[in-house]
Structure formats: C-alpha cells, structure tokens
A and B are shown apart, each in its own frame.
Chain A
Amino acid sequence: MKEKKNQSSASPATGTNRALGARIYRYKGFYVMFLPVFVFAVIFNYLPMLGIRYAFTNYNGIKKPSIVWFDNFNKMFSMPGFWTAFGNTLVISIVKLLLTTFFAVVVSLFLNEIMNIHFKKVVQTIIYLPHFLSWVVTASLFSLILAPTGQGLVNSFLVSIGVVDSGNMIYFLGSTKWWRFTYYLINVWKETGWQTVIFMATLAGMNTELYEAASIDGAGRWGKMRYITFPSLANTILTVLILNLAKVMNLFESAFVLQNDAVLDVSNVLETYIYYQSFNSGSIPNYGYTTAVGLFKSIVGCLLVLICNKWSKKVREGRGIV
C-alpha cells in the first residue's frame, strides 16, 4: 500500500515510465542498506513518539493519564508569559543561528587562505576549543570577565580607554539593554570554531581545478573567494541553516545559565519558561503539559523547515534539503 502511494509521488518527478517493480528491483541493494537506519529510527524515535498522545491528557506519571483534549494547549496559550517567551525564542534563536553561521563561514573562508599548514592547524584547534566547555563553566567564566567591577576584564578595559566611567560600569549580563548582545557574543565565541569544522571539510573536497582556471582567467584573491570558494560552501551553509531551524525552539541550556531574574523580559525562552513554571511551582511535573509544549515546539520547527525547504529548492534545482 505504501509503495503504491509512493509511486504516484515519485514517478512524475523522475519522468521514467519503467515499471515500479523493476525499479525497486534495481535498487534492492539500497533497501538492504537502509534497513539498519530504519530499524534505529523505529526503535529510538518512532516507538517513543507514541508518547505524544500524552499531550492531550493530564499525566503525572502515577495515575493513568486522563484525557483532557486541548486543555494543556489552552493553559499554555493563556499564560501571559508564554507569548513573550515564544517571541524571545524565535528572535534569540534565529539571530544566534545566523550570527554563528555567518562568522563560521567568514572564518572558514579566511582560514582557507592561510598557506602555512602548521599555523592553520594551530588556529583551527584553538578556535574550536571553547566548544568543549560546558555551558555552566562558560557562564561562570563570562560572568567574571563581564563583571561590572574592577575584576571584570572588559569593563576595566573600557574604563582604561575612557569609554565608560569607573563609577558607571556596564552590567552586561544584568541589564536588559545589553543582555542579548552579550548572549550572542558569547555564543559566537563558543561555537564559531566548532562550526568551521564542517565548512573546512567541505572546502577540502573542493575542486582545485576551478582555482587554476580562475587564476588563468585573471581572478584575484577576492574574486576567487567570492566566485569559487563561497559558492562551493553554499550548499552546506543552506543545509546547516535549515536543519538547525528544526531545533530553533529547543533553545535551553545556553539561555538558562546566562539569564537571571532581572533580565527575564528579554531572555526568557520557551524552554526556560516551562522549566521555571514546573520547577518553581513546588509540585511534580505534569508530563501531559510538557508533552503538549514539546508538540507545539515541534510543529513550529516543522513549519519553519517546510517554508525554508520550499525556498531552498530554488537554489538546489528542485531538490529538498533532505
């Protein structure tokens, strides 16, 4: 049954009129290769996904879940904090994604121009190290460096060059004006280097003949970067961006460890909002409610991916991102 539907979806695109059976036969080896992937997906993803039905129940993990249909969603949407958190999530998450990707691409392009192989290795290794720090450690490091006291490196520097006055230091992590900017900066510091790994690998597979041809055509360094190196990264950039969109709503740990009571207006994202809602309530979590929130996040992620995938097909000659 599945295959029949499939035929109708697949064959117009391929334009072949070969019998479906024959085509399946031709690809038989591939089906066998896909089998382990399929099994893993079923066991570790699809079976647990049955739990999504709890979104429509009240379930505290003790009594049998009682069906409440859309009550959990009503509760979620009716809390005033929810929409603020939802908006914050979209803005913070997407800006963060764009910024880290942008910096990773730029850094990769320039790393690619370094000719000294040892220097390149050292640089690559150093810039990817922050990825290995846990967020908890990162947060405590930066709350020291950005402290509005003499111990804060950044404020001391700003005072010494006369940008701020010593009685009026900037509380980067404690002021609603500065928090997001600081948050993006810390993320760029921590994750740019790690993201370059994938871009550097992509550049490694690039066709050097194109470079030679371009040199003959008289293209300069900038020309080559712009017309050869960057386009060969485009596919990977697009994939990374769209795949990450699926996870945009999952933002939690980095925001959680860097936020504090005074900046919740601008920093409370959906996951942290739900965390506080449950942790501060002084009672055990209602898994029905958390599942409902999870389902909502998934649907938003799904929409974002579908929209961007449609747009990306233009770039990728009709092929989707997956």
Chain B
Amino acid sequence: MKKKALSLLLASAMVVSLAACGGSSDDKNATGTTGGTSTETSTNTSSSSGSETPGSETSGGSEDTSDIEKPAEITILVDGTVFTQENARDQFMAKLEELIGIKINVIQPDHDAYYDNVGQIIAGGDWPDVMILSSTYYSAYAAEGVLWDMTEAWDNSELKKRQEAYNGAGVVAGMEIDGRLYGMPSARGNGCVTYVKKKWLDNCGIANAPTNYDEYLAMLEAFTTGDPDGDGTDGNTFGVTAAGFVGTEAPYVNYLPEFYQDAHPSFYQKEDGTWADGFTEDSMKAALGRLADAYKKGVIDPTTLTNGTADCRNKFYSDDFGVFTYWAGTWATNLKTNLENNGLDGELIALPPIKEVGSYLDRIPPVWCISSTCENPEGVFKYFIEPMQDGGEVQFLWTYGVEDVHWSTKAETLYEGEEKEKVYEEGQFHGCDNLENPGTQYTKAHIDPALALVELKDDPRNESAAEENKASAELFAQNCVTADLVPSTDQMTEYNGDLTTLKNELIAKVAMGEMTIDEAYAKYESDHGAEWSQIIVDSLNQ
C-alpha cells in the first residue's frame, strides 16, 4: 500500500510540476494559437488579437456615416441556419461576396454543438468579426463586453427606417439591453400556433372551432371520449399532447398555451418596467389547476411527461390525438403532408388564440452580433449587416439562396414519375431539389420569408409558398407578442438553474395529481424557491 501511495504521489507530483511550468507555457499557447488560426482563416482584418482583454466600450459612436470604410475581408461564425457546405455554402458565399464586395471567411460548426464551439472559440481569444448568437449568449456576451454596441449605428441607419416601414422595428427594440443594442435579428423568432384536425371536429359534430377555454376543453373532451378518428372505438384517442408539461426554453409555455393562458412560470417584465417572478402569482396557480383537472379527465396524453417532440409528431400522424400546438409556417405544411401520407385527412385548422390566451408568443430570435475586437465595426454593420435586410438583391439571396442552385424559374419537372411529381412552367418560381436531402425542396435560405423584418421587393412567396404555410404564418404574425428578453445577472447565474429545476418538478407533480397546489407551494417555500426567486428579482430590478 505504501509503495502504491508513493507512486501515486509521484504521479501527482508530476502533474503539479507540469502545472507549475504550465503557467507560462499556457500564456504562450494563447498568443501562439492566435497566430495559428489566423493562417487558417487567412489574413483576416479583425482580431490582430489583443482580444484577451476586450475593452467593452471600444468604439461606440459612429456619428459620421459618410466616410465609413468598407472592410476588405471578414470572418463570420454561423450555425446551421445558414446554408451548410452540403447545401452549396460556397456558391452562396461567392454570390454574397460578389454582391457586397467583401471577402467572407466562414466558420460553421455542427449545429448541435454550436454553443460549445462558440465558447471554445471565444475562450481561444481569436474572435470572429461577426457571429450568430441565441438570446442567452447574446445577453451574457453583451454584459461581458464581447459584443460591439451598435445602438448608434442602428439609430442612424436606413435599416431602421426600412424596418419601421414594415412594422418590424418592435422586434429589434425588444433586443435592447438597458437601452443599448448589441445584435441585429434578421427575422422574427417564430412561435407556435394551435392546430386542430378538421376531420376530428366534423366527426364529433363540433361546428365552430373553439374561441374560449370552456369550448376548448369541451373539444378536448369530445376528442377523448368520442370517436373522432372514426375507427369505431370510443375513447382510444385523446385531446392534446406536448413534450413535457413545461417547455425547456423561454417562453416555457408555448406548447400548452391554452392551459397556461396569462401565467408566467418564470421572470417577466411588468407594464411599469419592473421585473417579477410569475410563479407565485395567482395566474400560475390557476394554470396549474387547469392542467391538473385536464390531466385527471384524461384529455391530456397520459404520457406527456415522457414524450419527446418526435413522439408527439408521430402520435399526431398516427391519429392518436387531435390538437397540437406546434411551429407556425413551414411546419403547417409538414404536418399536413405527413398526415396525408398516412392516408388521413390533412386539413388542419390553425386556431386563433382563444380569448383567455390573447396572443401567441414569439420566440426571441437569434441575432447577428459584431465582436468588440472587430477593427472596423461600423463598416461591418454598414456593408454586411445592413444589406442583409436591404429589401432587394442581398436580402433576396439571404432569403432564397442562389439562382439555379437553391431556387429556379426555369421550366422543369421535379420527381418525375413519383407520386409527388411537380411540373413548373418557364418563369414559375420554385425551390430546387435539396442537395443534402434529395426528395425535398428548398423553401428558404437563412431568412424565413414569412418572418422578415423588412419588406422584400418582388417576393415570390405569394405564388410559391403553400396555402396552409402562409395561412398559419399570417395568423401567427397577427396574433403574437414577443417574449421578454431576460437580462443576465450574477444572481441569475447562481440560483436560476436550481430554481427552474424546482419549478419544473412542482409543475409536473401538480399536473399529474401527485401533489396538490398547496403542497407544491409549501415545498416551493421550504426548498428555498421563494428565497432564490426574490434574490433574482431584486438583482433584475436594480
């Protein structure tokens, strides 16, 4: 044993001694590597790398817009929402370079691991000029000074005017943190609407789609106890399902909005601008009551707790349930085609929000940010970010991609001889066959045309998009409010993880009838939930 202990000691001594000299060698790494990757991305104009200590207020003002220099070359870090290499990214970028006259180096990690990679790249110190960030990373990086403050640039830009003209400026205003803007959304975030199977309504003799909660619940009950799928057996179906009782991401309530209604399980900004935690408010208690009642009645899928999103879709396609709250736009078509493929009636009614819900929630969109180490941020904003939403050629490229690669107006027949055969005349706009997944067509590039913030001139969407796609997107656009961007505070980092876990546990247990509402709130108190919540609210209101 002694011998073993000694040699273990030796081994650890080795690590320590390595660590000791590592202090200096590591710094060498840091500087050495910045040189390393800049060869990869060739001579990029930015990050000549004093980037370890970013000055947060590097270059704020951009008063004089006239003599802003156009950058020669920039590096951008993007996720899978931009065309990937398999989907002719090179051709897309070549076309973009031609249009805006800037050489673009792209770093595009795997979509699933995007934020791991962003963390690594930022830690590596060699920051790209431009990056796409989700709301979480956006607010955290803005607070840490990674992002360039683009407030002035935006205020003085033509882009703002174009967005205002199209009623799009509210989305950008929602991205401001303490009145400052650090990132530019290229579209709205999109959200979910409630789809109801038309056939099921007919089979149950319900003439009008529900407009309030009582009607909604009555519909679910009819779907559960009756025979909406027409297979001759009563009660082998149920009303609605979701992947879990509460969402994993803001705005947590988007998959079961009819039950949550005006409740906020997490932090939200009140009308007077102060922050509050909606979890202890009466609206949330009422929501829990509705969930528990509905679950007890059996109108909510008994396996809601363990469903994944793919499980929900498959159940919907195999006619196990009839009401599904899912993404507006493209997914309306996806749901329809999959139902029809299963030999079922594909007609879905996109339900306007019932009276108690009022409006659907628009997700906070990802944003395009400029890093604070970018040498010429004004130039990048003016010549890269702005044109993306110019309403013209560049926006068209970002919306539909490259002609004859991603879309075409030539006469052609796709999928000849197959069931889904499609014939296009000369001049008829249509998506080309997907390079990565043959058999499907491209519908869009980075910007979803239905969610654009600036009106696109000569948008072919009216002719090319499917009816149900347009209808659901429009319904959503008319009935949505943007979710609040919750800023990141130290107290949030410290306590919100445990707090949210506790809340989710209580919601699930109450919904499934394992706990009464009073028991749940007693546990919330005793498990420090109220305490943590107060600490975070205080930090937000500071």
Contacts and interface: CB of A to CB of B under 8 A. Distances in A.
Q: Do A and B bind each other?
A: yes
Interface string A276-296: 111111111111000000000
A286 B119 CA distance: 11
A10 B3 contact: yes
B497 A62 contact: no
B512 A262 contact: yes
Contact of A148 (B123, B248, B303, B499): B303
A309 B26 CA distance: 35
Interface stretch (A45-53, A215-223, A227-235): A45-53
B306 A62 contact: no
B38 interface: no
B22 interface: yes
Contacts of B497: 276-281
A283 B496 contact: yes
Contact of A140 (B54, B145, B310, B492): B310
Nearest to A259: B306
A62 B10 contact: no
Interface string B117-136: 00110110000000000001
Contacts of B305: 171, 173-174, 260-262
A147 interface: yes
A320 B8 CA distance: 12
B528 interface: yes
B250 interface: yes
Contacts of A148: 302-303
Contacts of B60: none
Interface stretch (A1-9, A100-108, A126-134): A1-9
A86 to B, nearest CB: 14
Q: Which of A46, A139, A284, A306 has the most CB of B within 10 A?
A: A284
B471 interface: no
Contacts of A283: 136, 139-140, 488, 492-493, 496
B57 interface: no
A144 interface: yes
B383 interface: no
A306 B3 CA distance: 13
A250 interface: no
Interface size class of A (residues with CB under 8 A): 35 or more
B207 interface: no
A173 B306 contact: yes
B76 interface: no
Given A46-B15, A63-B53, A282-B488, A75 B494 contact: yes
B136 A284 contact: yes
A64 interface: yes
Contact of A284 (B52, B137, B496): B137
A50 B492 contact: no
Contacts of B122: 61-62
Contact of B501 (A6, A60, A277): A277
Given A53-B19, A261-B505, A309 B4 contact: yes
A50 B19 contact: yes
A310 interface: yes
A284 B144 CA distance: 11
B236 interface: yes
Contact of A5 (B10, B144, B494, B508): B10
A149 interface: yes
B308 interface: yes
A246 to B, nearest CB: 13
Contacts of B137: 284
A150 interface: yes
Given A50-B19, A261-B504, A282-B492, A140 B141 contact: no
Contacts of A276: 497-498, 500-501
Interface in B123-163: 123, 136-137, 139-141, 144-146
B538 interface: no
Interface string A254-279: 00000011101100100001001111
Nearest to A310: B1
Interface in B478-509: 486, 488, 492-501, 504-505, 507-509
B277 to A, nearest CB: 13
Nearest to B146: A62
Describe A's contact surface by its main secondary structure: helix
Given A5-B10, A280-B497, A174 B119 contact: no
Describe B's contact surface by its main secondary structure: helix
A62 B3 contact: no
B514 interface: yes
Interface in B1-42: 1, 3-4, 6-8, 10, 14-15, 18-19, 22, 26
B297 to A, nearest CB: 14
Given A260-B305, A286-B493, A143 B311 contact: yes
B498 A81 contact: yes
B106 to A, nearest CB: 22
Interface in A148-168: 148-151
Contact of B505 (A63, A264, A306): A264
Interface in A13-61: 13, 46-47, 49-50, 52-53, 60-61
Contacts of A268: 501
Contacts of B248: 279-280
B48 interface: no
Interface in B239-260: 244-246, 248, 250
Nearest to B490: A283
B527 interface: yes
A9 B6 contact: yes
A280 B119 contact: no
B306 A260 contact: yes
B9 to A, nearest CB: 9
Contacts of A264: 501, 505
B307 interface: yes
Contacts of B486: 282
Q: Which of A144, A273, A277 has the most CB of B within 10 A?
A: A277
B144 A50 contact: no
Contacts of B19: 49-50, 52-53
Contacts of A287: 119, 123
Contact of A62 (B136, B144, B310, B505): B144
A322 B3 CA distance: 14
A205 interface: no
A79 interface: yes
B527 A150 contact: no
B239 to A, nearest CB: 14
Contacts of A62: 54, 122-123, 141, 144-146
A137 to B, nearest CB: 10
B500 A140 contact: no
7 contacts: A13-B3, A143-B306, A280-B501, A280-B504, A282-B492, A313-B1, A320-B4
Given A261-B245, A280-B499, 6 more contacts: A62-B146, A148-B302, A149-B302, A276-B501, A278-B497, A280-B497
Interface of B: 1, 3-4, 6-8, 10, 14-15, 18-19, 22, 26, 52-54, 119-120, 122-123, 136-137, 139-141, 144-146, 236, 244-246, 248, 250, 302-303, 305-308, 310-311, 320, 486, 488, 492-501, 504-505, 507-509, 512, 514, 527-528
Q: Which 9 A-B pairs have the closest CB atoms?
A: A277-B497, A261-B508, A61-B123, A280-B500, A281-B497, A50-B22, A284-B140, A262-B508, A283-B493
